[in-house]
Structure 1
Amino acid sequence: MDIENPEGLSSAEAASRLEEFGPNRLPEPKLSGPLVLFARQFLSPFIYILIIAALASVAIAQIPSAVFIVAVLLINAVIGTVQEYAAQKSASALRKMVRGTARVRRDGFDQSVDIEQVVPGDLALLTSGDKVPADIRLATAHGLAIDESALTGESLAVTKNAAAAPEEGAPISERVDMCFAGTVVTHGRAMGTVTATGLSTQIGSIAKEIGAGRLSEPPLMIRIRRFTYKVAGGIGISILALVLLMLHVGGYDTREMAMMSIGLAVSTIPEGLPAALTVALAIGMGRMANLHVIIRKLIAVESLGSCTFICSDKTGTLTVNELTIKKIVLPGGAEFDVAGSGVGPGSIGQPEQHHRLRDICLTGVFANESYLDYAGGEWASDGDIVDVAFLVLAKKLGLSLRQVRAEQAQLEMIPYESERALSGSLTRLGAGACLHVKGSPEKLAAMSSQMMTRDGAVPIDRAAIEAQSEALARQGYRVIALGRRETDHTTGAIDQLSDLTFLGQVAMIDPVRPDAKEAVDKCRDAGIEVAMITGDHPSTAAAIARDLGIRNLSGEVVTGAALRRSEQEGQAALDTLIRPARVFARIEPLQKQQIVDSLMRAGHFVAVTGDGVNDAPAMRRANVGVAMGKRGTDVAKEAADLIIADDRFASIVAGVEQGRVVYGNIRKVIALLIATGFSALLLFFLTVLAGLPMPLVAVQLLWLNLIANGLQDVALAFEPKEGNELSRPPRRPDEPIFERRIIEHVLITGTAMGLLAFFVFDWLIESGRSTEDARNLTLMLMILFGNIHALSSRSETRSLFRIRFWGNPFLVLAVPVAQAVHIGATHVPWLSDVLSLHPVAVSEWLMLLGVSLLLLVIEEAHKFSHRRRRGVRAAK
């Protein structure tokens, strides 16, 4: 392509365009301030009811009750504010992708300018190692290859061609006449005209999507919100019904009813849930960190456990992102398997025939510009990943790279250029030289006159070589051929590219991580579907998917082009194409969003894993985003909710298990809180119907809520895994927290506590005990119920006697501590006066303990019935 202005822009024109188009940077997202976030924490039905209760307490001069309620509200708001403020930086890392300096030609001189000063129309200069500063249309390119993996997911560097003319609307990976902001030049040099800067670039379009804010919510937030509205409504209706009943029955003064309503509201509303929820999530965060899963946003701890579908990037997530030679095929059909993945140890099969591979490895080493060495306890490499793969191959054959290169000093290098589709090196060999060449099989076969077989050099059979390369390509491999030629000429390597001896072909692929297949199988066993989404070639995607056991229900790989065609037909056609698919190839960043949207419309809770800029929009769109920690870009990490520190897909499975543990503990806490609140409501309804005085006064209800739940619900959040989390299917996406099993538990347990407490209170009144004395003993009974109920809540289905006693030492200690605190309160003069308490005799305490143990019998019977019903269903 011709350059319209070889002198570049003038300084004046550059300044004018900078004013017109703005700096070449991505804007920081506007963050909500702490005060705004703090105010948001009060937008909840639970909070509304508690605020009303606090105002009512002040109105009737119950200042201690109001202070207690306000303290709970403020603690909850502070925790929520801190969490949200830490989660607002999702797009900030995008700016780092285009910082630094760039080389441009202005006023006829090449000069370095700040990247932010680059403007459309600038003549940009690129060389090996540069980060591309903006979107650039190439005018000239010499051996230019760009690493676009962070933008497209393509594992191989893309060879650029300034003379190419891709079709309009071609995917990024096929626009070989363009370079894109944020990508990296692996080798070569080029010159081109800047076409877009800032938000107008390809990376800018991604920034817009990320900065627009998340459209989905974490699963737990969805369930908690629904639960909140339902419970708040139920509590409000129940208290109103109780007040109306008291008015109908008569005998209660207005102030007494107001205090009872406030006390019941505070007692039955699970205001301890935010603290217990935070503790459960924080514990899960710590446990996940030990499993190499780093949590960026606390609420995301549970999200993986809720997922029904994981959309995973291929490169660097399911694969090692290190091109590896897996097969060597020699003329004549001899085939050798190569073990090991990426840059590291391995071996080559059939060691007795390794002498036949020496020439092919030597050529791979000499026609090479990369570096490989063992340093710092691990293999270190630098350069083009294809070149590095040949160095690794030589090491697997047992060759010393230093010794080999010392034996044949390099005379000339033929750098790779797309027009030639090969690279080579001329080395000294004795008095003459040897030309080593590697490139596409078609090029090498055309340049060769003979091929090396078991019997020596024979005339080349191009048809057989073509059949070999096509067979390897169909398996998803990238195929490179190698040839050599001994010559008397020690210069002019480029002119000697003919009459080669064809040595053989190698099959390369970015291999599957060793534990990835097992992890995919475990996801499937846990009822979670896994799809692979990549920017790579469909045949490569199919080969990797085959190794992982991921198969499309339709049997075909869905490509980005197919998605574009379906999109034109409408959303229904797009959904029909996407939903049965499990392997997607040649997918562009914004198309990943379409896939996620379709799956979420189908009712899935979707997790998206990845490590590149191209993965960030989909990660933001999904219910939970998971970034790879080692190779992941800053953009991917900032957009993610969770980061896998060791880049192993298998760690995601461990995260799923812990997410389910966290959710299970949250369910246990909710069941504990709601059952206790329900029992208090039932107790009051029964006493009003029986014409008895209130069984507890407002301050005692507040104390009950603090002691019976305040310690034990938090301690219950420390419960370890039960061991069967991954054998259960995921929760239905539309399943509420307050589902049938918890409702059943609340009704049975709450009814048992409420009825037993009523019978004891009624018996005490009938026995001539004073109302104050009856309330004192009833409060002790309710606290004992809380102790028993907390222990029994350690599992929804397993018997308490089959759970390891010290498995949760926090709860085991919290139960006696709660009991001791209450008993201590009866002996503290000022506190006992406020609470209207007095010490309970040991004989009475033992009698109440016996009554409370009836609750354990009822709960064990309920669990046994549940296990039996589940066994019957499983048998059917």
Structure 2
Amino acid sequence: MSEIEPMDSKSERNGPEEHNWHAADIGDTLAEFDVRKESGLTDDEAQDRLKRYGPNQLRVAESRPWWRILLEQFHSIVIYLLGGAAVLAFATGRLPEGFAVLAVLLVNTAIGFVSEWKAVRSMAALRRLGEHMTRVRREGSEREIAASDIVPGDIVLLEAGDLVPADLRLIEAEHLRVNEAPLTGESVPVSKLTDTLAADTDLADRNNMLYKGTSIADGTAAGAAVATGSETELGRVSALAESAEGTVTPLQQRLDQLGRRLAILTIFIAIVVAAVGFLLREQQAALVIETALALGVAAIPEGLPIVATIALARGMYLMAARNALVNQLTAVETLGATRVIFSDKTGTLTENRMRLQKIVTPIDELVLEEPGAGEALADKEGVRRVLEVGVLCNGASLEEQQGEDNPRGDPTEVALLAGGKDLGLERESLLEDRPEARVEQFEPRLKKMATFHQDEGQYYVAVKGAPDAVLDVCSEILTNKGTEPLDDETRQQWVERASQLAGEGLRLLAMAEKRADTKDADPYEDLCFLGLAGLLDPPREKVKEAIDICQAAGIRVEMVTGDQAETATAIARAVGIVGGKDDPETVSMLGRDIGSPDDIDEDRQDKIYRANIFARVSPEQKLDLVTIYQNRGEIVAMTGDGVNDAPALKKADIGIAMGKRGTEAAKQVADMVLKDDAFETIVAAVRQGRVIFGNIRKSVVFMLTTNVAEVLAVTIAIGAGWPLPLLPLQILYLNVLTDVFPALALGLGPASGNEMEDPPRSPRESVLTRAHWTEITGFAALLAVCVLSALLLADHWLGLTEREAVTVSFLTLAFGKLWFTFALRNPKSSILLNEITRNPWVWGALALCIVLLAAAVYLPVLSGLLQTRPLGWQPWLLLLAMSVIPLLAGQIVREIQRHRRPE
């Protein structure tokens, strides 16, 4: 090839055209890449291929730059309206009004930018990708090179503990087992061979292939690199994640919807007020324009962006304190609206660590979780002998470093050693009595392993392996009388017993033993069957309680895993996703039965919605599952830690990755990362999300009620020819200062404690429902009447000047707003003790606002700017009496609602 092909050419970028390498034999694979397994590539060939195919690296998604985060703070219809109002104010020479609105915009932008920029920096710290080295054969010798320098055709050499650097077709494998959980979700290591497989073999069953991102659990291997970089299975999943479209969060949708309504309302109000002022009362054009501008701004809750941003930022802070790192502010609120949580199994619901769970023998059995299991071991001869075989026939170790166990080796063997240690049988002590003389490593074809131990002039042979494989080579069985011949009927009974235990989600190992005169004897003949050891990747602590809370709150928790259906169902029962074995609500479905969202029929939809366990699910199927539920209108959260979870994490309304066990691919696309990997942290986030939405709703009701009251009062006064109860700058003073602080205090309110007792709100429910708009209209009208009544009484009854009377109406509205805060309590709570009165932020906001109102009247510079006048005791009594009326009415309404609520 004389010229290098462009980098966007798939076949010339990362490897030869797509090929089912698992279906190709070793000779054909090596010939395809023109490489000899004994010598590998030459240096010249490797350099040429590196230039042609590019480095063996995945494309890492870039973090959002600071300037994009800054621009995103302005992406809101409410911000657009405020910006337009500021421009109009400056254009008409109303500098104080313009600067007031501009200050709101700048404060909101600064808060949102700082919060999200800190989150992005924290996420970047989690995404550090370290380069690692790997061994290859080149020029006839072994070399250690950077994994990024591997090219298609390289002969890669691996051993226990190594990361697989590229997709490899195995050409040599000795006792090889691989941890594929990051890619397939399989919870236990998979045995690997070099045999050629059928072309239609599923990814999880391609046991002659090694895939980038997995790791070697045991044994050694040599493989030919058949795909590197983005052409690997890992790269394909990463590309799938990039192509998955993210969704707009519910809060963004609702606030934008409210903003559009307010935009229409603002324009309508400005036109009406201007028309009334010009046509009906023939007032001064300058005053009418100023008033129309002020009322237009008054109709917009200027504090809403600030309140929403700070409420979400505080939620982000509280989540960080609970080990949940949130990538975007709105992700916290989104969890509060979640109706379905798709949870991965391995490492999310379970510990991703095998444990010895049960030992069953022909003469006794032991469940290790039962109290007193260790004391009972001395009385259980069969259990003790099974456990001795499991500890002796073992290639793992429980090394201790700095006082803590540091296990190494196959997870099932580590679990056997740990179980033996817990029950007083340690390998070192057993080996002192029976020194090891020979080891027959685990052979995938035979599915067995054996060790020989010196024992009183003979050799004790310990054998463990798959139940069917071990039973096939046993001629005797342990009984209470010693041993008896093992007949076919009894052998079949134990095969069925093993199948029954496997249905409980246990990984079964059969144990057998015999005596031999020489260590060269065949280990796999004339064995005595001792029993079965059942191991399990146990549920994480407290995860059942967390799932129970979710279900009580109307949130469906469903398991989506690449593991086997039996294992998934057992864990689902253990953590409470489904009930007992005969629970009719337990419905499992295989990934291949999900189907494409584009051509799914109604019958299959019903089956999917009824299922609560999805097993053997591929990355594409996880993505399809999320899409199917979103098409139904559900708000979907997806948890996961593996590469195979990344596409669905991105597509979900909220993606939740595990911080400790999670892969970089999962963390990069997630909206939230659980630093402690604890499922219960999700419950805390859901609760906080519901609290935040409820608080924002209260703030919006507060601001709109008081703003509409301003609009009604001024519009009625203009129409009736009365003095304006509020001057333009007075309106802005109230909205920008005395509105924002109480609204912000409401937005920071504490949880009431009963957030998780109600079902999730409807995805179609807006920030304000019809009931909220009814309340806003009613209370706003009452507050407007009180303001106008105070104005007229101050003018005609107390005989105050026009400026003094306007000061009375101004303060009536201001204090009416402050007292109205207490009317926004939850109807479930009492008048004196509720989430408002227990909120210290509310009391601080009221104190600050009272000081600001006093300054507006008695501070000469500010009083002159706002055109207010000092008042005597009679006007103060009048305005305070009128301002408390909306509060009393609100409390009466809340008490009526409280007593009408069903128990």
Query: Normalized against structure 2, the TM-score is what?
Result: 0.91
Amino acid in the other structure paired with 2:570: A
Amino acid in the other structure paired with 2:139: D
| Residue 841 of structure 2 is aligned to residue 810 of structure 1 | yes
Q: Secondary structure at the match of 2:274?
A: helix
Residue number among 555, 570, 581 corresponding to 1:543 in the alignment? 570
Given that residues 191 and 444 in structure 2 are in contact (C-alpha distance below 8 angstroms), is that contact kept between their aligned partners in structure 1?
yes
| Residue 159 of structure 2 is aligned to residue 124 of structure 1 | no
Amino acid in the other structure paired with 1:503: L
Which residue pairs with 2:4 in the alignment?
Answer: none
Q: Secondary structure at the match of 2:535?
A: strand
Q: Bigger CA drift: 229-238 or 127-136? A: 229-238
Residue number among 183, 187, 190 corresponding to 1:151 in the alignment? 183
Q: Bigger CA drift: 674-683 or 424-433? A: 424-433
Which residue pairs with 1:381 in the alignment?
Answer: 407
Amino acid in the other structure paired with 1:467: E
**1:91 & 1:844 partners in 2: Cα distance?**
57
**1:537 & 1:90 partners in 2: Cα distance?**
36
| Residue 472 of structure 2 is aligned to residue 433 of structure 1 | no
Which residue pairs with 2:471 in the alignment?
Answer: 445
**2:501 & 2:696 partners in 1: Cα distance?**
52
Amino acid in the other structure paired with 2:181: S
Which residue pairs with 1:390 in the alignment?
Answer: 416
How far apart are residue 749 of structure 1 and its match?
Answer: 1.8
Cα distance change, pair 717–689 in 1 and its aligned pair in 2 (3 A): same
Amino acid in the other structure paired with 1:312: S
Q: How does 1:840-855 map to 2 (within 5 A)?
A: 840-855=871-886
Amino acid in the other structure paired with 1:489: T
Which residue pairs with 2:553 in the alignment?
Answer: 526
**1:600 & 1:16 partners in 2: Cα distance?**
47
Q: Secondary structure at the match of 2:143?
A: strand
Amino acid in the other structure paired with 1:852: S
**1:700 & 1:544 partners in 2: Cα distance?**
63
Which residue pairs with 1:579 in the alignment?
Answer: 609
Amino acid in the other structure paired with 2:753: G
**2:748 & 2:232 partners in 1: Cα distance?**
48
How far apart are residue 131 of structure 1 and its match?
Answer: 0.6
Given that residues 475 and 543 in structure 1 are in contact (C-alpha distance below 8 angstroms), is that contact kept between their aligned partners in structure 2?
yes
Given that residues 668 and 716 in structure 1 are in contact (C-alpha distance below 8 angstroms), is that contact kept between their aligned partners in structure 2?
yes
Q: Secondary structure at the match of 1:719?
A: coil
Which residue pairs with 2:498 in the alignment?
Answer: 469
Amino acid in the other structure paired with 2:510: A
Residue number among 521, 525, 543 corresponding to 1:516 in the alignment? 543
**2:97 & 2:748 partners in 1: Cα distance?**
29
Structure 1 unpaired stretches of 5+: none
Given that residues 825 and 832 in structure 1 are in contact (C-alpha distance below 8 angstroms), is that contact kept between their aligned partners in structure 2?
yes
Given that residues 567 and 574 in structure 1 are in contact (C-alpha distance below 8 angstroms), is that contact kept between their aligned partners in structure 2?
no
How far apart are residue 604 of structure 1 and its match?
Answer: 0.7
**1:211 & 1:513 partners in 2: Cα distance?**
31
| Residue 316 of structure 2 is aligned to residue 285 of structure 1 | yes
Amino acid in the other structure paired with 1:810: W
Q: Secondary structure at the match of 1:658?
A: helix
**1:731 & 1:576 partners in 2: Cα distance?**
22
Q: How does 1:347-386 map to 2 (within 5 A)?
A: 347=373, 350-351=376-377, 353-372=379-398, 379-386=405-412
How many residues align structurally?
A: 863
Q: Bigger CA drift: 761-770 or 54-63? A: 761-770
Given that residues 28 and 91 in structure 1 are in contact (C-alpha distance below 8 angstroms), is that contact kept between their aligned partners in structure 2?
no
How far apart are residue 595 of structure 1 and its match?
Answer: 0.7
| Residue 160 of structure 2 is aligned to residue 134 of structure 1 | no
**1:326 & 1:29 partners in 2: Cα distance?**
42
Amino acid in the other structure paired with 1:133: P
Which residue pairs with 1:60 in the alignment?
Answer: 92
How far apart are residue 126 of structure 1 and its match?
Answer: 1.6
How far apart are residue 707 of structure 1 and its match?
Answer: 3.0
Which residue pairs with 2:344 in the alignment?
Answer: 313
Please give the per-residue CA displacement for 1:123-164, whole angstroms capped at 9, x wherever unaligned. Answer: 222211111111111112111111111112111011111104
**1:29 & 1:400 partners in 2: Cα distance?**
48
RMSD: 2.6
Cα distance change, pair 770–368 in 1 and its aligned pair in 2 (3 A): same
How far apart are residue 532 of structure 1 and its match?
Answer: 0.5
Please give the per-residue CA displacement for 1:584-640, whole angstroms capped at 9, x wherever unaligned. Answer: 000112211111111111111011112222222211111111223332233323332
Cα distance change, pair 250–749 in 1 and its aligned pair in 2 (3 A): same
Q: Secondary structure at the match of 1:216?
A: coil
| Residue 37 of structure 2 is aligned to residue 29 of structure 1 | no
Amino acid in the other structure paired with 2:774: E
Q: Secondary structure at the match of 1:368?
A: coil
**1:131 & 1:403 partners in 2: Cα distance?**
34
Q: How does 1:394-405 map to 2 (within 5 A)?
A: 394-405=420-431
Structure 2 unpaired stretches of 5+: 1-25
Q: Secondary structure at the match of 2:594?
A: helix
Q: Bigger CA drift: 297-306 or 552-561? A: 552-561
Q: Secondary structure at the match of 1:361?
A: helix
**1:76 & 1:681 partners in 2: Cα distance?**
24
Which residue pairs with 2:20 in the alignment?
Answer: none
Amino acid in the other structure paired with 1:329: V
Which residue pairs with 2:531 in the alignment?
Answer: 504
How far apart are residue 704 of structure 1 and its match?
Answer: 0.9
How far apart are residue 455 of structure 1 and its match?
Answer: 1.4
Given that residues 657 and 725 in structure 1 are in contact (C-alpha distance below 8 angstroms), is that contact kept between their aligned partners in structure 2?
yes
Q: Secondary structure at the match of 2:460?
A: strand
Q: Bigger CA drift: 757-766 or 616-625? A: 757-766
Which residue pairs with 2:641 in the alignment?
Answer: 611
Cα distance change, pair 538–327 in 1 and its aligned pair in 2 (3 A): same
Q: Bigger CA drift: 85-94 or 234-243? A: 85-94
How far apart are residue 93 of structure 1 and its match?
Answer: 9.1
How far apart are residue 376 of structure 1 and its match?
Answer: 5.8
**2:174 & 2:775 partners in 1: Cα distance?**
72
Amino acid in the other structure paired with 1:282: A
Cα distance change, pair 246–349 in 1 and its aligned pair in 2 (3 A): farther
Which residue pairs with 1:561 in the alignment?
Answer: 592
Which residue pairs with 1:337 in the alignment?
Answer: 367
Residue number among 816, 827, 832 corresponding to 1:785 in the alignment? 816
Q: How does 1:94-493 map to 2 (within 5 A)?
A: 99-168=131-200, 170-212=201-243, 214-331=245-362, 334-339=364-369, 347=373, 350-351=376-377, 353-372=379-398, 379-460=405-486, 461-490=490-519, 492=520
Given that residues 86 and 102 in structure 2 are in contact (C-alpha distance below 8 angstroms), is that contact kept between their aligned partners in structure 1?
yes
Query: Normalized against structure 1, the TM-score is what?
Result: 0.93
Amino acid in the other structure paired with 2:679: F
Please give the per-residue CA displacement for 1:513-538, whole angstroms capped at 9, x wherever unaligned. Answer: 34333322221111111110111111
**2:593 & 2:867 partners in 1: Cα distance?**
75
Q: Bigger CA drift: 67-76 or 436-445? A: 67-76
Amino acid in the other structure paired with 1:536: D
Given that residues 129 and 186 in structure 1 are in contact (C-alpha distance below 8 angstroms), is that contact kept between their aligned partners in structure 2?
yes
Residue number among 683, 687, 691 corresponding to 1:661 in the alignment? 691
Q: Percent identity?
A: 32
**1:312 & 1:571 partners in 2: Cα distance?**
25
Amino acid in the other structure paired with 1:522: I
Which residue pairs with 2:83 in the alignment?
Answer: 51
Q: Bigger CA drift: 829-838 or 289-298? A: 289-298
Q: Bigger CA drift: 386-395 or 688-697? A: 688-697
Residue number among 767, 770, 775 corresponding to 1:737 in the alignment? 767
Given that residues 467 and 532 in structure 2 are in contact (C-alpha distance below 8 angstroms), is that contact kept between their aligned partners in structure 1?
yes
**1:647 & 1:55 partners in 2: Cα distance?**
49
How far apart are residue 187 of structure 1 and its match?
Answer: 1.1
Cα distance change, pair 769–94 in 1 and its aligned pair in 2 (3 A): closer
Please give the per-residue CA displacement for 1:350-378, whole angstroms capped at 9, x wherever unaligned. Answer: 55633332221111111112222666676
Q: Secondary structure at the match of 2:46?
A: helix
Given that residues 98 and 115 in structure 1 are in contact (C-alpha distance below 8 angstroms), is that contact kept between their aligned partners in structure 2?
no
Q: Bigger CA drift: 76-85 or 214-223? A: 76-85
Which residue pairs with 1:709 in the alignment?
Answer: 739
Please give the per-residue CA displacement for 1:817-851, whole angstroms capped at 9, x wherever unaligned. Answer: 21122102322221111111222323322322222
Amino acid in the other structure paired with 1:511: P
How far apart are residue 92 of structure 1 and its match?
Answer: 7.3
Cα distance change, pair 819–568 in 1 and its aligned pair in 2 (3 A): closer
Residue number among 722, 725, 739 corresponding to 1:695 in the alignment? 725
Amino acid in the other structure paired with 1:15: Q
**1:269 & 1:805 partners in 2: Cα distance?**
24
Cα distance change, pair 523–687 in 1 and its aligned pair in 2 (3 A): same
